[in-house]
Amino acid sequence: MTNDTQERDLTDGFNLVIDALKLNDIDTIFGLPGIPITDFTRKAQAEGIRVISFRHEQHAGNAAAAAGFLTGKPGICLTVSAPGFLNGLTALANATTNCFPMILISGSSEREIVDLQQGDYEEMDQLAIAKPLCKAAFRVLHAADIGVGIARAIRSALSGRPGGVYLDLPAKLFSQTMDAEAGKHSLIHVVDPAPRQLPAPDSVQRALDLLKGAKRPLILLGKGAAYARADEDIRALVEKSGIPYLPMSMAKGLLPDTHEQSAAPARSYVLAEADVVMLIGARLNWLLSHGKGKTWGAPNGKQFIQIDIAPTEIDSNVAIAAPVIGDIGSCVAALLGGMGDNWAKPPVEWTGAIAERREKNLAKMSATLALDPSPMNFHSALNVVRDIVKNNQDAIVVNEGANTLDFARSIVDMYKPRKRLDVGTWGIMGIGMGFSVGAAVVTGQQVIAIEGDSAFGFSGMEVETICRYNLPVCIVVFNNNGIYKGTDVNKLGGDVAPTVFVKNARYDMMMQAFGGVGVHATTPAELRAAMEEAIKSGQPTLINAVIDETAGTESGRITSLNPQSGAKKK
Ligand code: ADP
Ligand code: TZD
Ligand code: MG
C-alpha cells in the first residue's frame, strides 16, 4: 500500500462528526469558532452544512433552540471550551425548560488534564456542569464512538418530552484517525427518534366521560400542542367538541386567534368559571397561576384533564382527574375517535356568556387601538404591528420585553401554527436576535421581532449577524427609555435610577452601522411605512419606535410577582 492510499483509507474525528450529522439530516449548525473547533466549522461548511456564525454563543444557542421548535429536528449549537460553553449553557437550559430539542456540542480540554486540574487553556469539567441543566449529557473519547454519541444525543433531544442535550467532544477527538470503512460502519442513522406513544384506551375514556358531563368546559392549548404538529386534529377536536379554548402565548395561531371559539378576549372569565379544563401540551406552572387561587375562581371543584407525554408532569400543582399520557397527535386522534358522531356541544349559557364578554372586550380594545396619542404608546404602535401581521400571516413573530411582550401577546393576532416565539416558560430576556436568526435561517420566512428596548439590548450585537447573512428580519424596538418605563428617578441624585437608559437612544443607527436599514419612527404612520418597506424589500431593518416613556407598568402584567418590602422605612 502506498502512503497515498493509506491516507485515503483513513478518516478522522472531524469527518466522522460531520458525516454523522449529515446522515441524520442535520444541515445547519449555529455556533462561534475558536480552539478547538475552528477547523471543524470550516470543514462542515466545505461539506455542505450551513454554518451560521454568531457574535456570542448564547444567541447561537437560542437560534438552535428556535430551529428545534420550528423543525422538530434538534437544533445544533457549537461552542469552544469553558467560556464559550458557559455562554451557550443559558440557551441549553432555557431550551430544556421550554421542551425545545437542541444539542449543544462543545469542544473541551483533554480529560487527563481536566481531571487532575492541571490548568489547561480554557479548562473546565464541562460534562459535570452541563448535566443538571439538560435532559442528557454525553462525552465521546474515541472516534469509533462518534456515531453512537450523536445518535444518543439526537434520541435524547427528541424522544418523550423534548429538551436540550450536551455533547462533549475533547480536542484530541477531532484529529483521531481510524480506518475509513470501519468509521463509516460506526455511524448510526437514527430510526424513529420520536416514536408515537399511544395513550391507554381507558385513560381516553375517562377523559371523555369527564368532558361529557361538563357544563362549562374549556380547552387550554400550550406550546407542546404547537410542537406536536397535530394541527388538523387539534382544530377538529376543538370544532367538533364546540368547546371554547385559550391558547398559551406560543400556541397562538394553532387555530387563528380570530376563531369564534377563542376565549382569549374573555380569559379571566373562563379561567374562573370553567368546571372541566382540558390541558393539551401546557403545564400548570406560574403562567397559569399553578392551577389554583383567585385566577381559577377557587375553590369551586374544578376538574382537570391533562394530555402530556411526560407522566410525571401530572399532579405537579393540583390534582388531575383524568391524565392522558402519550404524544399529543395520538391522544387527540384517540379522543376524536371516541367522541363519535353525536357529541353534544357545551350549553349555550356557557358559550353565550363567553361570546358576550368577548364582543364587549374586543369592542373596548378596538376603541383603544384606534386612538392616536402623541407621543405614540404601546397600543397605537401595536395596532400597526397587528395589521402588518394580519397581512403577512406566514411571517414569524419574535417577542420579548415586559410591557412590549404583554401588550403584543394580547393585541397581535396570529393566524398559523408555530409563528410566535417568545420568552417562554422562564420569561427570559435575550432570546430576541438568536430566535430571529434561527427562525429566518430554517424557515426562509420573514421575521418580525417586537422588542422592548431593554430586551433588545441583551442580544443587540447580533444585528451584525443578521446583516452578514442578509436575513429578512424586521426588528421593531419599542423604545420607552428603559426597563418598564423611562421615568424612574434616583431621589438622591448622582447616578440615574437602575431601570432607565440613555434618553432618546437611536437603536436604528446600530443597524445602519452594518449596512442594514435603520428607521426612526415617532408616529404610527411612520412605523407602518417602515414595516411595509422592510417586508417588501426583505432587507435587514431596525425601526426605533419611540414610545411614550410614561406608558408602561412595572413588570408589565406580572407586577404581583414583585416582592414587596416588609420593612417600614424610617
Ligand atoms: P406553555 O408554556 O405553552 O403552557 P409548557 O411548555 O408549559 O407550555 O408545556 C408544554 C408541555 O407539552 C410539556 O409538559 C411537554 O411535556 C408537553 N409536550 C411537548 N411535546 C409533546 C408531544 N409531542 N406530545 C405530548 N406532550 C408534549
Ligand atoms: N434578565 C433576564 C435574563 N431575564 C429577565 N426576565 C430579566 C433580567 C428581568 N426583566 C424582565 O422580566 S422584563 C425586563 C427585564 C430586565 C425588561 C423590560 O424592559 P423592556 O420592555 O424595555 O424590554 P418594556 O416594554 O419597557 O416593559
Ligand atoms: Mg422599555
Which SS3 state, helix, strand or coil, does residue 211 take?
helix
pLDDT digits (tens, 9 = 90+) for 535-544: 999 999 999 9
Position 364 in a domain = no
Position 380 in a domain = yes
- Dist. CA 15–CA 13, nearest whole Å: 5
| 343: CATH | 3.40.50.1220
Whether the pLDDT of residue 458 is over 60: the answer is yes
pLDDT digits (tens, 9 = 90+) for 133-159: 999 999 999 999 999 999 999 999 999
Q: DSSP letters along 360-385, please?
A: HHHHHHHHHHH---SS--HHHHHHHH
Same domain, 253 and 300: yes
Confidence of residue 569 (pLDDT cuts 50, 70, 90): low
Same domain, 158 and 42: yes
**Nearest listed ligand to the Cα of residue 429:** 2
Cβ–ligand 2 contact at 479 (below 6 Å)? no
| 516: CATH | 3.40.50.970
Q: Is 220 exposed, middle or buried (0-12, 13-18, 19+ CB in 10 A)?
A: buried
Atom of ligand 2 nearest to the CA of 458: 3
Whether the pLDDT of residue 5 is over 60: the answer is no
Of all residues in the chain, what percent carry a pLDDT higher than 90? 95
Same domain, 34 and 124: yes
Position 566 in a domain = no
Cβ–ligand 1 contact at 273 (below 6 Å)? no
What pLDDT does residue 1 have?
Answer: 44
Last residue of a domain, one of 123, 153, 186: 186
Position 229 in a domain = yes
Residue 1: which residues within 8 A CB-CB, separation 6 or more?
9
Cβ–ligand 2 contact at 454 (below 6 Å)? yes
Confidence of residue 4 (pLDDT cuts 50, 70, 90): low
Same domain, 27 and 89: yes
Strand partners, 108: 170
Whether the pLDDT of residue 370 is over 80: the answer is yes
Strand partners, 491: none
Residues surrounding ion ligand 3 at CB below 5 Å: 452-453, 480
Same domain, 233 and 341: yes
Atom of ligand 1 nearest to the CA of 161: 16
Same domain, 411 and 483: yes
Same domain, 280 and 379: no
Same domain, 511 and 543: yes
Mean pLDDT value across residues 75-87: 98
Atom of ligand 2 nearest to the CA of 453: 22
Strand partners, 178: 11
- pLDDT, the chain, mean: 96
Ligand 3 centroid, distance to 374 Cα (angstroms): 17
Same domain, 247 and 127: no
**Nearest listed ligand to the Cα of residue 484:** 2
Same domain, 348 and 398: no
Cβ–ligand 2 contact at 500 (below 6 Å)? no
Whether the pLDDT of residue 568 is over 70: the answer is no
Q: Which domain range does residue 304 map to? A: 201-355
Task: Count the residues in the chain.
Answer: 570
**Nearest listed ligand to the Cα of residue 306:** 1
pLDDT digits (tens, 9 = 90+) for 496-537: 999 999 999 999 999 999 999 999 999 999 999 999 999 999
The residue ranges of DSSP E strands in 453-509, in sequence order, are 473-479
Position 196 in a domain = no
What pLDDT does residue 559 have?
Answer: 82
Confidence of residue 2 (pLDDT cuts 50, 70, 90): very low
Mean pLDDT value across residues 215-237: 98
- Dist. CA 183–CA 180, nearest whole Å: 5
Position 564 in a domain = no
**How far is CA 355 from its chain centroid?**
31
Closest CA to 482 of 550, 429, 430: 550
- Dist. CA 153–CA 161, nearest whole Å: 14
- Dist. CA 277–CA 461, nearest whole Å: 43
Q: What is the pTM of this model?
A: 0.97
pLDDT digits (tens, 9 = 90+) for 290-346: 999 999 997 768 999 999 999 999 999 999 999 999 999 999 999 999 999 999 999
Whether the pLDDT of residue 68 is over 50: the answer is yes
Ligand 3 centroid, distance to 477 Cα (angstroms): 9
Atom of ligand 2 nearest to the CA of 456: 23
Position 363 in a domain = no
Cβ–ligand 1 contact at 371 (below 6 Å)? no
Cβ–ligand 1 contact at 327 (below 6 Å)? yes
Same domain, 348 and 473: no
What pLDDT does residue 8 have?
Answer: 63
**Nearest listed ligand to the Cα of residue 327:** 1
Q: Report how far apart, in Å, the C-alpha atoms of 423 and of each of 31, 103, 254, 406, 430 are.
A: 21, 20, 18, 11, 8
Position 264 in a domain = yes
Structural domain tally of the chain? 3
Last residue of a domain, one of 125, 159, 186: 186
Cβ–ligand 2 contact at 548 (below 6 Å)? no
CB atoms within 10 A of CB 455: 26
Same domain, 40 and 118: yes
Could you tell me the three cell numbers for 300?
369551586
Atom of ligand 1 nearest to the CA of 220: 4
Ligand 2 centroid, distance to 455 Cα (angstroms): 6
